[in-house]
Amino acid sequence: MAQLKDIKTRLQTVKSTQKITSAMMLVASAKLRKTQRLLDNLEPYVEGLRRIYNLILVQTENFHSPLIEDRPVKRVALVVFSSNSGLAGRFNHVVSTELLQAVESYKSLGESNILLYSFGDRGVREALKRGVVHYQGRYQSIADKPSLENIKPICEDLINKFIEKEVDKVELIYHHFLTKGTQVMTRDTLLPLQVQKTVTEEGEFEEKLLEKYIIEPDSEPILTELTPLLIHLKLFAAHTDSLVSEHIARMTAMQIATDNADELVDELTLEYNKLRQQAITAELLDIMGGSFDR
């Protein structure tokens, strides 16, 4: 009877856990829909702005901006996107691994010259524990609240540090969302801004494309305005990208946990019924044995 009671208790515990994982899966799914709509609206805008920027850059011969200046790296800032909470499968572990690899690649600079900007703390704990990076900015309160308004002061701080040569390079470490089944761990350069001087659209060459646009009064002021805007949008897109990937990872992990709980409930129910049947059979045999003794 004690064994029956143990199985029944465990069965109730598994069912309670299953309710929690199922609820968490639904919450992650709802958050995913909201964040993915934001990303779907953002990506065409960023791509369109980048295409216009490149078109103007093609016909501007001597444009120079401190934000596109490529120089020897003596100090680097790593902007890392992970999550504040767990139960997201390998999401944070993959971020942590990529961060440690990035730190290793800049090991020659010295620990004091590797600055950490963190959105979410789960993916940076291992690096902090080893003492190989040091916080320069910690933005846990907005890790799950992507908005251009939240990103702007952080990006301006990074831009100012780059212009004043306090840092020579800024890298982003985040998950890039491709499909619900595929999120790619990405390490990308934010500063200096990587510019592209070749543009094609629908098979047309640059010369034909440029004929479609009239730029007044001059291309250089437009590029000067667009360069920091592109940097802001790139950081914002990385934040949103990472959050979409996090919600997918958590939703998948909770779905797997719920399915595993289903299987465990079935196994425990079967075991419980077997033991219960055995107990009933034993009691019947005892009753029958007692009646024969009379």
* Domain ranges for the chain: 2-26+252-287, 28-251
pLDDT of residue 209: 60
Q: Which pLDDT belongs to residue 181?
A: 82
Mean pLDDT (whole number) for 57-72 = 85
**pLDDT at residue 254 in the model:** 93
- The mean per-residue pLDDT over the stretch 249-278 comes to 88
Q: Which CATH superfamily is domain 2-26+252-287 in?
A: ATP synthase, gamma subunit, helix hairpin domain (1.10.287.80)
Residue 101: how many CA atoms within 13 Å on its side-chain side? 10
Please tell me the class of the 28-251 domain: alpha beta
Q: Give the model's confidence band at 203: pLDDT under 50 very low, under 70 low, under 90 confident, else very high.
A: very low
Instruction: Give yes or no for residue 205 having a pLDDT over 60.
Output: no
Kindly state the percentage of the chain with pLDDT values over 90: 48
Is residue 202 predicted with pLDDT exceeding 60?
Answer: no
Average of per-residue pLDDT across 199-207: 51
Burial class (CB in 10 A: 0-12, 13-18, 19+), 5: exposed
**pLDDT, greater one: 273 or 166:** 166
Residue-wise pLDDT for 131-181, tens only, equals 778 888 899 889 888 898 999 999 999 999 999 999 999 999 999 998 888
Question: pLDDT tier at 127 (50, 70, 90 boundaries)?
Answer: confident
Q: What is the pLDDT of residue 294?
A: 53
pTM comes to 0.85
pLDDT band at 64 (very low <50, low <70, confident <90, very high): confident
pLDDT band at 216 (very low <50, low <70, confident <90, very high): confident
